[in-house]
Amino acid sequence: MSTIRTCIFPAAGYGTRFLPATKSMPKEMLPILTKPLIQYGVEEAVEAGVKNIGFITGRGKRSLEDHFDKSYELEHQIKGTDKEKSLTGIRNIIEQCTISYTRQKEMKGLGHAVLCGEHFIKTEAFSVILADDLCDNDGDGVMKQMVQMYEKYKCSIVACMEVPREDAHRYGIISGTEEEPGVIRANDLVEKPKPGTEPSNMAVIGRYILTSDIFNILRKLPPGANNEIQLTDALKEQAKNGRVIAYKFKGKRYDCGIVDGFVQATVDLYEKQKS
Ligand code: G1P
Protein backbone atom coordinates (compact mmCIF):
# COMPACT_ATOMS: atom_id res chain seq x y z
CA MET A 1 0.00 0.00 0.00
CA SER A 2 1.38 3.43 -0.91
CA THR A 3 2.47 5.74 1.87
CA ILE A 4 1.07 8.70 -0.07
CA ARG A 5 -2.70 8.44 0.12
CA THR A 6 -3.84 11.94 -0.84
CA CYS A 7 -3.20 14.17 -3.82
CA ILE A 8 -4.16 17.83 -4.00
CA PHE A 9 -4.96 19.37 -7.37
CA PRO A 10 -4.87 23.17 -7.43
CA ALA A 11 -7.48 24.02 -10.08
CA ALA A 12 -8.77 27.48 -9.32
CA GLY A 13 -6.93 29.44 -12.03
CA TYR A 14 -8.80 31.34 -14.74
CA GLY A 15 -6.90 29.93 -17.72
CA THR A 16 -6.71 33.33 -19.40
CA ARG A 17 -4.13 32.08 -21.89
CA PHE A 18 -6.85 29.94 -23.43
CA LEU A 19 -9.53 32.61 -23.85
CA PRO A 20 -12.08 32.55 -25.30
CA ALA A 21 -12.25 28.73 -24.82
CA THR A 22 -12.00 29.17 -21.04
CA LYS A 23 -14.61 31.90 -20.76
CA SER A 24 -17.21 29.50 -19.41
CA MET A 25 -15.23 26.26 -19.31
CA PRO A 26 -12.49 25.38 -16.80
CA LYS A 27 -9.08 25.10 -18.45
CA GLU A 28 -8.61 21.78 -16.67
CA MET A 29 -11.43 20.38 -18.82
CA LEU A 30 -9.76 21.22 -22.14
CA PRO A 31 -9.13 17.89 -23.84
CA ILE A 32 -5.85 16.42 -25.01
CA LEU A 33 -7.32 14.04 -27.62
CA THR A 34 -10.54 12.89 -25.95
CA LYS A 35 -9.52 13.19 -22.30
CA PRO A 36 -9.64 16.34 -20.18
CA LEU A 37 -6.23 17.55 -19.08
CA ILE A 38 -7.01 17.06 -15.41
CA GLN A 39 -7.88 13.40 -15.88
CA TYR A 40 -4.31 12.68 -17.00
CA GLY A 41 -3.07 14.07 -13.69
CA VAL A 42 -5.63 12.17 -11.63
CA GLU A 43 -4.79 8.91 -13.42
CA GLU A 44 -1.12 9.50 -12.65
CA ALA A 45 -1.95 9.97 -8.96
CA VAL A 46 -4.11 6.84 -8.87
CA GLU A 47 -1.35 4.83 -10.54
CA ALA A 48 0.93 5.98 -7.71
CA GLY A 49 -1.47 4.53 -5.13
CA VAL A 50 -3.43 7.67 -4.18
CA LYS A 51 -6.96 7.05 -2.89
CA ASN A 52 -8.06 10.55 -1.89
CA ILE A 53 -8.27 13.35 -4.41
CA GLY A 54 -8.67 16.93 -3.20
CA PHE A 55 -9.52 19.56 -5.78
CA ILE A 56 -8.93 23.20 -4.95
CA THR A 57 -11.41 24.93 -7.21
CA GLY A 58 -12.99 28.31 -7.68
CA ARG A 59 -15.95 29.88 -9.38
CA GLY A 60 -16.98 28.38 -12.71
CA LYS A 61 -15.52 24.93 -12.08
CA ARG A 62 -18.72 22.95 -11.69
CA SER A 63 -18.15 20.84 -14.83
CA LEU A 64 -15.08 19.44 -13.11
CA GLU A 65 -17.28 18.01 -10.35
CA ASP A 66 -19.68 16.57 -12.92
CA HIS A 67 -16.82 14.92 -14.78
CA PHE A 68 -15.68 13.07 -11.66
CA ASP A 69 -19.18 11.80 -10.92
CA LYS A 70 -21.54 9.25 -12.45
CA SER A 71 -23.73 10.41 -15.30
CA TYR A 72 -26.71 8.07 -15.06
CA GLU A 73 -28.45 9.26 -18.23
CA LEU A 74 -25.31 8.86 -20.29
CA GLU A 75 -24.50 5.47 -18.76
CA HIS A 76 -28.01 4.30 -19.59
CA GLN A 77 -27.76 5.61 -23.14
CA ILE A 78 -24.50 3.86 -24.05
CA LYS A 79 -24.95 0.67 -22.02
CA GLY A 80 -23.98 -2.37 -24.05
CA THR A 81 -22.43 -0.33 -26.91
CA ASP A 82 -18.72 -0.12 -27.68
CA LYS A 83 -18.77 3.50 -26.49
CA GLU A 84 -18.74 2.21 -22.94
CA LYS A 85 -15.01 1.56 -23.11
CA SER A 86 -14.32 5.30 -23.46
CA LEU A 87 -15.53 5.66 -19.90
CA THR A 88 -13.38 2.90 -18.35
CA GLY A 89 -10.67 5.29 -17.10
CA ILE A 90 -13.01 7.78 -15.47
CA ARG A 91 -15.17 4.99 -14.01
CA ASN A 92 -12.10 3.48 -12.35
CA ILE A 93 -11.24 6.81 -10.75
CA ILE A 94 -14.78 7.32 -9.47
CA GLU A 95 -14.89 3.78 -8.04
CA GLN A 96 -11.44 3.77 -6.46
CA CYS A 97 -11.21 7.29 -5.03
CA THR A 98 -12.80 9.58 -2.53
CA ILE A 99 -13.02 12.96 -4.21
CA SER A 100 -13.34 16.21 -2.27
CA TYR A 101 -13.62 19.82 -3.30
CA THR A 102 -12.83 23.04 -1.59
CA ARG A 103 -12.89 26.55 -2.96
CA GLN A 104 -9.96 28.93 -3.01
CA LYS A 105 -11.83 32.17 -2.48
CA GLU A 106 -9.01 34.48 -3.47
CA MET A 107 -6.22 33.93 -5.99
CA LYS A 108 -3.24 34.30 -3.69
CA GLY A 109 -0.84 31.87 -5.33
CA LEU A 110 0.10 28.19 -5.37
CA GLY A 111 1.20 28.16 -1.72
CA HIS A 112 -2.16 29.60 -0.71
CA ALA A 113 -3.98 27.00 -2.85
CA VAL A 114 -2.11 24.16 -1.12
CA LEU A 115 -2.89 25.68 2.27
CA CYS A 116 -6.60 25.64 1.33
CA GLY A 117 -6.26 21.84 1.14
CA GLU A 118 -4.93 21.47 4.67
CA HIS A 119 -8.15 19.92 5.97
CA PHE A 120 -7.77 17.04 3.47
CA ILE A 121 -4.56 16.02 5.26
CA LYS A 122 -3.95 14.76 8.79
CA THR A 123 -0.27 14.45 9.59
CA GLU A 124 0.89 12.33 6.71
CA ALA A 125 2.88 13.41 3.67
CA PHE A 126 0.79 14.09 0.58
CA SER A 127 1.22 14.82 -3.10
CA VAL A 128 0.37 17.83 -5.27
CA ILE A 129 -0.09 17.70 -9.03
CA LEU A 130 -0.37 20.75 -11.26
CA ALA A 131 -2.42 19.33 -14.10
CA ASP A 132 -1.11 21.98 -16.52
CA ASP A 133 2.14 20.04 -16.50
CA LEU A 134 1.23 16.88 -18.35
CA CYS A 135 3.81 14.16 -17.80
CA ASP A 136 4.09 11.17 -20.05
CA ASN A 137 6.29 8.15 -19.54
CA ASP A 138 6.18 4.64 -20.98
CA GLY A 139 7.24 3.05 -17.68
CA ASP A 140 6.13 4.16 -14.20
CA GLY A 141 4.37 7.53 -14.13
CA VAL A 142 6.22 10.46 -12.61
CA MET A 143 4.25 10.47 -9.34
CA LYS A 144 4.86 6.75 -8.89
CA GLN A 145 8.59 7.36 -9.35
CA MET A 146 8.40 10.15 -6.76
CA VAL A 147 6.62 7.95 -4.21
CA GLN A 148 9.56 5.54 -4.52
CA MET A 149 11.89 8.48 -3.81
CA TYR A 150 9.79 9.49 -0.80
CA GLU A 151 9.98 5.97 0.60
CA LYS A 152 13.75 6.20 0.43
CA TYR A 153 14.34 9.78 1.62
CA LYS A 154 11.24 10.48 3.81
CA CYS A 155 11.24 14.21 3.14
CA SER A 156 9.64 16.54 0.59
CA ILE A 157 10.30 15.55 -3.02
CA VAL A 158 10.00 17.86 -6.03
CA ALA A 159 10.18 16.80 -9.67
CA CYS A 160 12.77 18.73 -11.63
CA MET A 161 14.23 19.07 -15.10
CA GLU A 162 16.87 21.18 -16.79
CA VAL A 163 15.51 24.13 -18.77
CA PRO A 164 17.26 26.65 -21.04
CA ARG A 165 18.70 29.46 -18.86
CA GLU A 166 16.58 32.04 -20.66
CA ASP A 167 13.42 30.24 -19.50
CA ALA A 168 14.47 29.95 -15.84
CA HIS A 169 12.50 33.06 -14.85
CA ARG A 170 9.25 31.16 -15.50
CA TYR A 171 9.96 28.47 -12.89
CA GLY A 172 10.95 27.65 -9.35
CA ILE A 173 14.70 27.01 -9.61
CA ILE A 174 16.68 24.79 -7.26
CA SER A 175 20.33 24.47 -6.35
CA GLY A 176 21.94 21.76 -4.25
CA THR A 177 24.24 18.77 -4.22
CA GLU A 178 23.82 15.47 -6.00
CA GLU A 179 23.12 12.56 -3.65
CA GLU A 180 23.00 9.94 -6.38
CA PRO A 181 22.55 10.24 -10.16
CA GLY A 182 19.41 12.28 -10.82
CA VAL A 183 18.77 12.99 -7.13
CA ILE A 184 19.74 16.38 -5.69
CA ARG A 185 19.45 17.48 -2.08
CA ALA A 186 18.30 21.06 -2.44
CA ASN A 187 19.88 23.79 -0.36
CA ASP A 188 18.09 26.68 -2.00
CA LEU A 189 15.02 27.34 -4.12
CA VAL A 190 13.97 30.57 -5.74
CA GLU A 191 10.64 31.28 -7.39
CA LYS A 192 10.80 32.95 -10.80
CA PRO A 193 14.31 34.42 -10.47
CA LYS A 194 14.99 37.63 -12.36
CA PRO A 195 16.78 36.86 -15.67
CA GLY A 196 20.50 36.45 -15.04
CA THR A 197 20.14 35.81 -11.28
CA GLU A 198 19.05 32.13 -11.46
CA PRO A 199 21.26 29.90 -9.28
CA SER A 200 21.04 27.04 -11.81
CA ASN A 201 18.94 25.86 -14.73
CA MET A 202 17.26 23.10 -12.71
CA ALA A 203 13.54 23.87 -12.68
CA VAL A 204 10.81 22.50 -10.45
CA ILE A 205 7.86 21.16 -12.41
CA GLY A 206 4.35 20.60 -11.14
CA ARG A 207 4.78 17.43 -9.11
CA TYR A 208 5.41 17.53 -5.37
CA ILE A 209 5.37 15.26 -2.36
CA LEU A 210 5.21 17.42 0.75
CA THR A 211 5.63 16.61 4.41
CA SER A 212 2.80 18.11 6.42
CA ASP A 213 4.99 20.63 8.30
CA ILE A 214 4.70 22.63 5.05
CA PHE A 215 1.34 23.99 6.29
CA ASN A 216 2.84 25.73 9.32
CA ILE A 217 5.50 27.23 7.09
CA LEU A 218 2.95 28.37 4.48
CA ARG A 219 0.75 29.98 7.12
CA LYS A 220 3.57 32.29 8.20
CA LEU A 221 4.95 33.14 4.76
CA PRO A 222 4.86 36.69 3.45
CA PRO A 223 3.89 37.11 -0.21
CA GLY A 224 6.77 36.41 -2.60
CA ALA A 225 7.12 36.57 -6.41
CA ASN A 226 4.10 38.18 -8.14
CA ASN A 227 2.95 39.20 -4.64
CA GLU A 228 1.63 35.65 -4.11
CA ILE A 229 2.15 33.03 -1.38
CA GLN A 230 4.65 30.78 -3.12
CA LEU A 231 5.01 27.06 -2.46
CA THR A 232 8.63 27.40 -3.57
CA ASP A 233 9.31 29.80 -0.65
CA ALA A 234 7.94 27.22 1.82
CA LEU A 235 10.13 24.52 0.26
CA LYS A 236 13.10 26.86 0.63
CA GLU A 237 12.51 26.77 4.41
CA GLN A 238 12.45 22.96 4.42
CA ALA A 239 15.57 22.93 2.24
CA LYS A 240 17.47 24.90 4.88
CA ASN A 241 17.25 21.74 6.99
CA GLY A 242 18.13 19.46 4.07
CA ARG A 243 14.53 18.27 3.86
CA VAL A 244 13.92 18.67 0.12
CA ILE A 245 14.98 16.25 -2.57
CA ALA A 246 14.79 17.28 -6.22
CA TYR A 247 14.31 14.30 -8.47
CA LYS A 248 15.05 14.29 -12.20
CA PHE A 249 12.07 12.28 -13.32
CA LYS A 250 11.98 9.86 -16.21
CA GLY A 251 9.53 10.94 -18.88
CA LYS A 252 8.47 13.94 -20.89
CA ARG A 253 6.73 17.00 -19.51
CA TYR A 254 4.48 19.25 -21.55
CA ASP A 255 3.58 22.74 -20.39
CA CYS A 256 -0.11 22.61 -21.21
CA GLY A 257 -0.64 25.97 -19.50
CA ILE A 258 0.48 27.57 -22.77
CA VAL A 259 -0.87 26.95 -26.26
CA ASP A 260 2.47 25.70 -27.68
CA GLY A 261 2.86 23.00 -25.03
CA PHE A 262 -0.79 22.04 -25.26
CA VAL A 263 -0.55 21.53 -29.03
CA GLN A 264 2.73 19.61 -28.71
CA ALA A 265 1.15 17.24 -26.17
CA THR A 266 -1.83 16.74 -28.45
CA VAL A 267 0.37 15.94 -31.46
CA ASP A 268 2.71 13.60 -29.56
CA LEU A 269 -0.06 11.69 -27.80
CA TYR A 270 -1.96 11.40 -31.05
CA GLU A 271 1.08 9.95 -32.83
CA LYS A 272 1.63 7.56 -29.93
CA GLN A 273 -1.98 6.41 -29.96
CA LYS A 274 -1.84 5.73 -33.68
CA SER A 275 1.38 3.70 -33.57
C1 G1P B 1 4.37 26.91 -10.71
C2 G1P B 1 5.38 26.98 -9.57
C3 G1P B 1 6.80 26.96 -10.11
C4 G1P B 1 6.99 25.75 -11.00
C5 G1P B 1 5.93 25.72 -12.11
C6 G1P B 1 6.01 24.44 -12.90
O7 G1P B 1 4.45 28.12 -11.44
O8 G1P B 1 5.15 28.16 -8.81
O9 G1P B 1 7.71 26.93 -9.06
O10 G1P B 1 8.29 25.79 -11.57
O11 G1P B 1 4.60 25.81 -11.54
O12 G1P B 1 5.11 24.42 -13.96
P13 G1P B 1 3.29 28.61 -12.46
O14 G1P B 1 3.51 27.83 -13.72
O15 G1P B 1 1.99 28.32 -11.81
O16 G1P B 1 3.53 30.07 -12.65
What are the pLDDT digits (tens) for 202-232? Answer: 999 999 999 999 999 999 999 999 999 999 9
What does the pLDDT read at residue 143?
98
- Do the Cβ atoms of 151 and 185 come closer than 8 Å? no
Mean pLDDT of 11-15: 90
What does the pLDDT read at residue 206?
98
Mean pLDDT of 15-20: 93
For 143-183, how does the pLDDT look when each residue is reduced to its tens digit (9 = 90+)? 999 999 999 999 999 999 999 999 999 999 999 999 999 99
Q: CA 86 to CA 118: how far, in whole Å?
A: 34
Whether ligand 1 lies within 6 angstroms of the CB of 158 is answered as: no
> Which range is least confidently modeled, 26-40, 64-78, 126-140?
64-78
What does the pLDDT read at residue 48?
97
Q: Which of 17, 15, 107 is nearest to 64 (CA)?
A: 15
- Do the Cβ atoms of 204 and 159 come closer than 8 Å? yes
Whether ligand 1 lies within 6 angstroms of the CB of 10 is answered as: no
Q: CA 19 to CA 50: how far, in whole Å?
A: 32
Number of C-beta neighbours around residue 6 at 10 A: 22
Nearest alpha carbon, ligand 1 atom 7: 171
Q: Answer positive or negative: Cα dihedral of 123, 148, 93, 117.
A: positive
Pairing relation of β-strands 172-180 and 202-210? antiparallel
For 55-102, how does the pLDDT look when each residue is reduced to its tens digit (9 = 90+)? 999 888 889 999 999 888 888 888 889 888 888 899 899 999 999 999
What does the pLDDT read at residue 84?
85
Whether ligand 1 lies within 6 angstroms of the CB of 173 is answered as: no
pTM: 0.96
Band of the pLDDT at 15, cuts 50, 70, 90? confident
Whether ligand 1 lies within 6 angstroms of the CB of 41 is answered as: no
- Do the Cβ atoms of 125 and 211 come closer than 8 Å? yes
